[in-house]
A = this chain, B = another copy of it.
């Protein structure tokens, strides 16, 4: 890849949506990738991006991107790497078609997450799963990242699974509004309220970790055997999913043991100094009222997970609180980190 001669051109699929916008924000000054194309539905195609989009982020829309003409999500795209923030209603087929045609689709959509040959990837957790790509029949490839509520949980669990083994995981979430997209949750439903239901979310949290924490053998992922129970709630927070977690471990571990594993946890993403990789994937906060969405969601570029309140539990072994930024670590940022890892590990070889 002629990276040295300049940045690698990339396209954003579903560019006008909320995840698409976050891709644009996070990639606008990226050292390796450069957004050259934005693609969306027929309705937007042909317009200037700034006229097609209802920009909802607090950082201003980069002028250069605003002046791009929106394209359709098809094989007329010139960029061979496409970040997908497509709606699940259309993502499945569009992504397959692009991969067949030789594109590398780095997707935040849920459609292909459980395809046997598609990695459900978190660079700090299962970088070896990237090898699945080699078993794909696509000329290009599809790589996915997990659901926004899964990723904080799995990052917190990974070092404990490695060191002590997990026997049971119970999680109750208080999820941010941005997780529902835009316009998403009506203000009339959430001011002075909590909604104790998010469609499909509990199943995602109970199944995705099993694949992510599974082991790769002979080109196949064998899911981890682990019972997870999840309950998901929507609260009046803009960004940042907070989760109360209870765990039962296979081996005995003290509070100090656990905190030590979290604090010392690092991975290939840190080793390779991937641009969006947090310095530390996990921060343990000592104050008993921490972590809090407003205070800690942006820690370490919004890519780190904050944990607090580790204490003994009468029903499980331990309970604690996890926070992660749902649209950064849990969506666009996570997908970009996947692409950074792929680049460093030469998974974009064919792009020349």
- The complex is assembled from copies of this chain, and their number is 4
Instruction: Known contacts A244-B233, A246-B229; decide if A289 and B197 are in contact (CB<8 Å).
Output: yes
CA distance A195 to B238 in the complex (A): 14
CA distance A191 to B291 in the complex (A): 15
Instruction: Known contacts A186-B184, A235-B194, A319-B229; decide if A298 and B206 are in contact (CB<8 Å).
Output: no
State which size class the interface on A falls in. Answer: 35 or more
A313 interfacial contact with B, CB 8 Å: yes
Between A and B, 18 residue pairs with Cβ closer than 8 Å are A58-B294, A168-B315, A170-B170, A185-B186, A185-B187, A187-B189, A187-B190, A187-B191, A191-B294, A192-B236, A193-B295, A194-B242, A196-B244, A196-B321, A197-B289, A197-B309, A229-B313, A231-B321
A114 interfacial contact with B, CB 8 Å: no
CA distance A237 to B189 in the complex (A): 12
CA distance A332 to B263 in the complex (A): 35
Contacts of A178 in B (CB 8 A): 188
Contacts of A319 in B (CB 8 A): 229, 231
Contacts of A313 in B (CB 8 A): 229
- In the complex, the answer to whether B192 meets A229 with C-beta atoms within 8 Å is no
Q: Mark A162-182, 1 if CB is under 8 A from B, else 0.
A: 000000101010100110001
A62 interfacial contact with B, CB 8 Å: no
Instruction: Known contacts A236-B236, A314-B227, A315-B170; decide if A193 and B294 are in contact (CB<8 Å).
Output: yes
- A174 (CB) vs chain B CBs: closest residue: B194
A228 interfacial contact with B, CB 8 Å: yes
Which chain A residues numbered 198 to 232 have a C-beta less than 8 Å away from chain B?
A: 206, 227-229, 231
Contacts of A188 in B (CB 8 A): 56, 177-178, 182-185, 238
Which chain A residues numbered 290 to 334 have a C-beta less than 8 Å away from chain B?
A: 290-295, 298, 308-309, 313-316, 319, 321
A256 interfacial contact with B, CB 8 Å: no
Give the one of A182, A186, A308, A319 with max B CB within 10 A.
A186
Q: Mark A85-105, 1 if CB is under 8 A from B, else 0.
A: 000000000000000000000
- In the complex, the answer to whether A197 meets B236 with C-beta atoms within 8 Å is no
A237 to chain B, nearest CB (A): 6
- In the complex, the answer to whether B235 meets A235 with C-beta atoms within 8 Å is yes
- In the complex, the answer to whether A314 meets B235 with C-beta atoms within 8 Å is no
CA distance A182 to B313 in the complex (A): 31
A63 interfacial contact with B, CB 8 Å: no
- In the complex, the answer to whether B291 meets A196 with C-beta atoms within 8 Å is yes
- In the complex, the answer to whether B288 meets A197 with C-beta atoms within 8 Å is yes
CA distance A239 to B78 in the complex (A): 43
CA distance A193 to B295 in the complex (A): 8
CA distance A340 to B266 in the complex (A): 42
Contacts of A191 in B (CB 8 A): 177, 187, 190-192, 236-238, 294
